[in-house]
Amino acid sequence: MKVYLIVILAVVPLISGAPPSLTRRSSVTTQTLVEQYGYPFEEHSVQTSDGYILGLHRIPYSGRVESDEPRPVAFLMHGLLCSSSDWVLSGPDYGLAFVLADAGYDVWMGNARGNTYSREHATYNPFFKKFWAFDWHEIGMYDLPAMMDYVLYYTDEEQLTYFGHSQGTTTFLVLNSLNLRFNTKIKSAHLLAPVAFMENMEGPLVDMAALLLGQPNFLPEIFGDMEFLPNTKAMEMLGYSACCDKSPFQSLCANVIFLITGFDYENLNYTLLPEITATTPAGSSINQIYHFLQEYNSGFFRQFDYGFARNSLAYGSTKPPKYPIEKIDLPIFLYYSDNDYLSSVVDVHKLMRTLKDTTLRRAYRVGHPKWNHLDHLWGMNIRELLHDAIMEDLESMKDS
């Protein structure tokens, strides 16, 4: 109990976030990471229909590949508390954005509202709770359409190939179950560590957090609509000093990550830890955490539970509606693993049974017993254990 109390006392001050003057882009950014390896970089801004201004990052081509052929569009969407930096942190040989650019794709990387690159709004600023009044439902229903429509218009392409990790898979399922027009705009979707059903999520703090915050009670009402774990200069400095190769605390940094995602000492690139901590966490709304904990408690993949009274006003029923993912009608490829605390094998299998038989093209189970949630981004053996399978699946779609 003392350990839980210490964790709560450490985290609660961070929930309210930092004022905008203290929250800034890290000196390690998606742009610096891309350009240091000699790849071209572009930054675009997109405004959603509800006023959020999102940063959209692009690697238009790879200097390693000489080709005059049209480049198909790849759109990559990050997970909870993450950003576009996830896809390039591990460099050209391991970062999926670089791998796709080298394979001839025009690569675009999205950033969800509230993260390091998407902290602006047409009306509100991050000082106000109104700015943080969203969860991953809104990211799926507003952010993804705004960004993907912009990408398709800008490139004059009719379709794109979607890649999502963790919450980037959740928001994909939200959008494409409720807005069927994107079923024709996405050629195929490749979902890494898919998160929909979460009843079998693991971790030492999950049960306590779900009990306190995963149901409609006074705590979400009081602490809702707030920033959670913004990216600050202090966090970057702490990460570099505590997590670098010469630090005696480097193993502690790794264990903090493992407590949440699953222990895998074999596949973690320890040298990368300072860059990971410099860019992650990238900030989110606390409501996103509440919504995921509700999924764990309920065993359903459904919209936010406000409680009987507010549900009746919002949805016309006392319970929130389920996302009709059985309506999704586009080729989907899943990639999952045995040691993922957040995307368990049992829950992925439930997702597989819920999707249409004609929709699910392949569910690839990574062939390493310790592969965890974040190894899908930065695992040491990611090329042979994951990327080769992704490239096989992309090849299978070329004639479709």
Furthest CA-CA distance within the chain: 62
- State how far the Cα of 199 lies from the Cα of 237, in Å rounded to an integer: 36
Compute the distance between CA of residue 239 and CA of residue 229 in angstroms, rounded to an integer.
14
Whole-angstrom distance, CA of residue 231 vs CA of residue 22: 9
Q: Which of 165, 373, 376, 387 does the annotation list as catalytic?
A: 373
CA distance 275 to 76: 20
Cβ 56 vs Cβ 145: under 8 Å: no
Q: Is 166 left (phi over 0), alpha (psi -120 to 50) or beta?
A: left
Ranges of H-type helices in the chain: 2-15, 30-35, 96-102, 136-138, 144-155, 167-178, 206-213, 218-223, 233-243, 250-261, 273-279, 286-298, 308-315, 345-354, 375-378, 382, 388-396
In terms of phi and psi (left: phi > 0; alpha: psi -120 to 50; beta: otherwise), the region of 124 is: beta
- Catalytic site residue from 166, 177, 285, 298: 166
In total, the chain counts a number of residues equal to: 400
User: CA 383, 32, 165 angle in degrees (round to 5)?
Assistant: 40
**Residue 376 annotated in active site:** no
> How many Å apart are CA 145 and CA 383, to the nearest integer?
30
Establish whether 373 is a catalytic residue. yes
Question: Which are the catalytic amino acids?
Answer: 166, 373
